[in-house]
Amino acid sequence: NAGVTQTPKFRVLKTGQSMTLLCAQDMNHEYMYWYRQDPGMGLRLIHYSVGEGTTAKGEVPDGYNVSRLKKQNFLLGLESAAPSQTSVYFCASSYWGTGIDEQFFGPGTRLTVL
Amino acid sequence: EDKVVQSPLSLVVHEGDTVTLNCSYEVTNFRSLLWYKQEKKAPTFLFMLTSSGIEKKSGRLSSILDKKELFSILNITATQTGDSAVYLCAVVISSGSARQLTFGSGTQLTVLP
């Protein structure tokens, strides 16, 4: 099992450009999440999904959009990148079940917006 | 607003020392508390705590939750250089059918040889 994978690993954008980050999981998890991590701020939730075809806003959703067309994939889009979106982005997934709250994280995408 | 606060922000110790990392929280709809270790890459899961006063142990690491006082501690005994990492505390909150994590800012632990 590959677990949670993310593509790309690194990306440099110019202000105003758009891009899509792809997250894939092979654990048949219902829940998927996108986080950003900035120095000294831990991880902050951008958007999440509780199942195929559903999405919801997290703590810092502005400037991002997401889609979950297939259960195993969760896409994060930046329509018009801004320097404030320079960050490390982590995708995570978790099982929907009693007593299991662990989230499994992907390796991260380091995004720089110039 | 849900809040998770970790202390200290950073800690430098020597191999063999014992450390205690703190996590306090103020959240609605508490479900569980998780500890993760992050070494310049994805966080890796350490413990999940749901009940007060029950210690979870894994080798030299242990953790306990106090739901009355709203905090958890992570202990590491006989520290090794490989324990150097950021330790993240996260509280799982029930939100309708969803579960969300609110993370603290982490404790940067450096273990010197």
pLDDT at B53: 79
Contact at 8 Å (CB) between A25 and A90?
A: no
- C-alpha B47/C-alpha A23 separation (Å) is 25
Tell me the Cα Rg of chain B.
14
Chain B nearest-CA residue for A58 = B100
Contacts of B33 in chain A (CB under 8 A): none
Query: Buried (b) or exposed (e) across A35-70, using 16+ Cβ within 10 A?
Result: bbbeeeebbbbbbbbbeeeebbebbbbeebebebee
Place of tokens 């899509």: A20
How far is Cα A89 from Cα A20, in angstroms, rounded to an integer? 12
Dist. CA B7–CA B78, nearest whole Å: 20
Give the highest mean pLDDT range of B1-5, B16-20, B38-42.
B16-20
The rounded distance, in Å, linking the Cα atoms of A60 and A82 is 14
Of A42, A104, A108, which is closest to B103 when you measure between CB atoms?
A42
pLDDT for the residue B52: 81
Write down the mean pLDDT value for chain B: 93
What parts of chain A have a pLDDT lower than 70? 98
Q: Residues 20 to 79 of B: which have CB under 8 A from any A CB?
A: 31-32, 34, 41-45, 48, 50
Q: Which residues of B touch A41 (CB under 8 A)?
A: 105
Flag whether residue B1 sits within 8 Å of chain A, measured between CB atoms: no
Share of chain B above pLDDT 90, in %: 77
pLDDT value, residue A42:
85
User: CA torsion angle for B61, A101, B88, B6 (degrees, to 10)?
Assistant: -100
Give the helix, strand, coil percentages of chain A, each rounded to 5.
5, 50, 50
Task: Considering only the beta carbons, identify the residue of B44, B100, B105 that sits closest to A58.
Answer: B100
From the list A21, A26, A23, the residue with the least C-alpha distance to A49 is A23
pLDDT digits (tens, 9 = 90+) for B75-109: 999 999 999 999 999 999 887 777 888 999 999 99
Cα(A48)–Cα(A91) distance, rounded to whole angstroms? 9
3 state SS of B81 = helix
The minimum CA-CA distance between A89 and chain B, rounded to whole Å, is: 10
> Are the beta carbons of B101 and A33 separated by less than 8 Å?
yes
Q: Which of B48, B59, B55 is nearest to B91 (CA)?
A: B48
Pick the residue from chain B with its C-alpha nearest to A47.
B100
Name the closest residue on chain B to residue A94, using Cα atoms: B99
Tell me if A40 and B105 make a contact (CB, 8 A cut-off): yes
User: Looking at residue A1, what is its pLDDT?
Assistant: 74
Q: What is the pLDDT at residue A98?
A: 65
